[in-house]
Amino acid sequence: MTFFLFSKQLIDMLYQHQILDYIMVVLVFLLLIYQTALVRPNFRKRFMLTDGIVILLGLLLTVTFIRSGSGYQSYFKVMSAFLLYFVGRVYYDRIKECYGGLTLAAYLVIYANFLTRLYRFGFAFMKVQNAGGDLYYYDTDMAFAMILAMVFITMFGKNTFFKLFTVFVICPCMVFFSDAGIQMVLMIAVYAIMAIYFMELVSNYQKLAGIFLVIIISGLLGIIAVIYMPALGFENSDFVIGLFQGRFFNNENMYSRYADWKTVLDSCTGQGLMNRLFGSGMGADLVIQSLYIKIFYSLGYVGLGLSITLIISIMYYMTRVEDRKTFYLAVIMAVLLLGSGVTVNSIESTQMSWFPLLFSGMVISSVQVEKEKTDEEEKYACDYNGDN
């Protein structure tokens, strides 16, 4: 597991060697089989509603894939993300032992890309408008990697000047001096969430921290709602694009996205009842730059409903995890996956989906184990009092 968590961030940077992703999936599958055989969990006892939702989504996607007869890569990537959820469920406790590997890989990713940009642009790197992805394919992929690495270093790295310099100087330079769009907004949100976490550590005001978190997440949901208004016919694209004035979104790219989104949604509404309910296909011949519209296109109203239920279910368990670091880490992962999904089909990007799904499974298992320990302690206390 340590090797997997260490190498995953580095392999994302080597996107052109797709065989590495397939090797990682095989490794994860073997890890899952090994740990299941070693622990031998009671599946009937440990089975949760969230597990059932993930399985149903996998089955629905499989039916869509068979019906479509194409889109193997999309199917493979999404199913591998679901696999990572179950890896998190089985390895929930051992993942915490690997935080050092995550931190080391994070430093390597950040400085490999920073040195690459410094080599290409020299000391004019702070004037760069489009970095060309550095060692990644797009600036969006690079920015996501920088934010993810920043989170791991902040949460698990030793407190040194080098850590502070990396988190507050190098990482924001890499993201804000690029054509990263939505990732700029997400980076600000992640900084705010981590500030709330450290405020809670210092003051121990958990309720106040919860209020601030609700405000931030509500604000992000509001931004998402505004962005999708033109696609849903509630407002024209000129008005929404004008609100941002090209500061966080490339205007030309957004006009292109709105046109593509409208075409896809019109196609979905023009389909028969079965397609609207269960999806129109894998969309291998379409470029759908939206997680939410892609879910609706591929899985229909049923898949969209299951996806929303899955998100609510995971959020429910997040609020019940006792380890606050794990809680905040899970919240940040959810924000990154769902926030990136506004303008990118993030579930089909293993770089964006694997860690969030992994930590989602970890959170649910942690809550389950904590509840079992509490129940055992209460039972022991009752038996002890009864004997006396």
Is the CA virtual torsion 15, 16, 22, 23 positive or negative? negative
Reduced DSSP (H G I as helix, E B as strand, rest coil) percent helix, strand, coil of the chain, to 5? 80, 0, 20
Which of 9, 4, 18, 1 is CA-nearest to residue 111? 9
pLDDT score at 180? 83
Measured CA to CA, the distance from residue 146 to residue 270 in angstroms comes to: 41
- Residue 386 is encoded by which pair of tokens? 């009864």
Q: Which amino acid is present at 382? A: C
- Residue 158 is encoded by which pair of tokens? 């030793």
Query: Where do we find the tokens 């400085």?
Result: 111
What's phi and psi for 284, nearest 5 deg?
-65, -25
Range of the domain at 309: 2-387
Helix, strand or coil, per DSSP, at residue 160: coil
Measured CA to CA, the distance from residue 373 to residue 377 in angstroms comes to: 6
Kind and range of the H or E run holding 358: helix 350-387
Is the CA virtual torsion 45, 370, 305, 288 positive or negative? negative
How far is residue 103 from each of residues 97, 238, 365, measured CA to CA in Å?
12, 42, 23
Long-range interactions of 310-314: CB distance < 8 A, separation 24+: 310/50, 310/53, 310/54, 310/57, 311/338, 313/49, 313/50, 313/53, 314/50, 314/360, 314/363, 314/364
Q: How many folded domains does the chain comprise?
A: 1
pLDDT score at 142? 94
pLDDT one digit per residue (tens) for the chain, 388 residues? 888 899 999 999 988 888 888 899 899 889 888 888 887 877 777 788 999 999 999 999 999 999 888 888 899 999 999 999 999 998 888 888 888 999 999 999 999 999 999 999 888 878 888 888 899 988 999 999 999 999 999 999 999 999 999 999 999 999 999 888 889 999 999 999 999 999 998 888 888 888 999 999 998 888 888 888 888 877 777 777 777 766 667 677 788 888 888 888 888 877 788 888 998 888 878 888 899 999 999 999 999 999 999 999 999 998 888 888 889 999 999 999 999 999 889 999 999 999 999 999 999 988 888 887 776 766 666 666 666 6
- Residue 278 is encoded by which pair of tokens? 């269960």
